[in-house]
């Protein structure tokens, strides 16, 4: 069981930990990303991008690369449609690694840097909308946060 917001680790995208909104209304998961570019590599397309893992902190920037899965038109909650890159990534929720697809978009004005959509949740988790951080913060996340604080 997880809450309506959880800490999510992104080991395949620079190893950052992001506070994600668990959004059963969103089909696909989304990550805040900027400076997005694509290149051909080894017969496939790789998307390079940067993201700020911590809300309201634009100093810490993580650079990442991920294989391009698709480009899809996504309709946001405000009703506007946008063509987005879709990349393959691994996320860790409650110490469970999950292979997911992430759409990349600017989420500067949004309350969360990431949305965890229902495709990532299906068959794995039940969401308790009254609780936050139900999965807790794993030892790995606590260690990374402590290391981050000491580095500053």
The residues spanned by each domain of the chain are: 2-151
CATH topology of domain 2-151: Cathepsin D, subunit A; domain 1 (2.40.70)
Q: Give the N- to C-terminal CA distance of the chain in Å, as an integer.
A: 34
Pairwise CA distance, residues 115 & 124, whole Å: 16
Tens-level pLDDT at each residue, the chain (152 residues): 898 999 999 999 999 999 999 998 889 999 999 999 999 988 899 999 999 988 888 889 999 999 999 999 988 777 889 899 999 999 999 888 999 999 999 877 677 889 999 999 898 899 988 888 877 665 555 566 666 666 65
Burial of 52 from C-beta contacts in 10 A (0-12 / 13-18 / 19+): buried
Alpha helices in the chain (DSSP H): 118-121, 139-151
- Which pair of tokens denotes residue 38? 């694509």
The answer to pTM > 0.85 is: no
Neighbours of 65 (CB within 10 A): 16
Q: Is the Cβ–Cβ distance between 134 and 128 less than 8 Å?
A: yes
């Amino acid at each position: 069981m997880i809450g309506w917001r959880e800490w999510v680790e992104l080991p395949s995208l620079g190893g950052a930990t992001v506070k994600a909104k668990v959004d059963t209304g969103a089909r696909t998961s989304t990550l805040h990303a900027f400076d997005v570019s694509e290149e051909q590599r080894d017969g496939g397309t790789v998307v390079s991008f940067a993201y700020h893992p911590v809300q309201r902190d634009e100093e810490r920037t993580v650079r990442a690369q991920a294989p391009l899965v698709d480009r899809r038109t996504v309709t946001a909650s405000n009703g506007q449609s946008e063509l987005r890159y879709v990349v393959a990534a691994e996320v860790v929720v409650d110490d469970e690694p999950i292979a997911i697809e992430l759409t990349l978009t600017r989420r500067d004005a949004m309350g969360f840097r990431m949305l965890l959509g229902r495709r990532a949740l299906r068959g794995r988790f039940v969401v308790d909308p009254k609780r936050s951080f139900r999965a807790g913060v794993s030892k790995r996340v606590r260690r990374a946060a402590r290391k981050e604080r000491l580095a500053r």
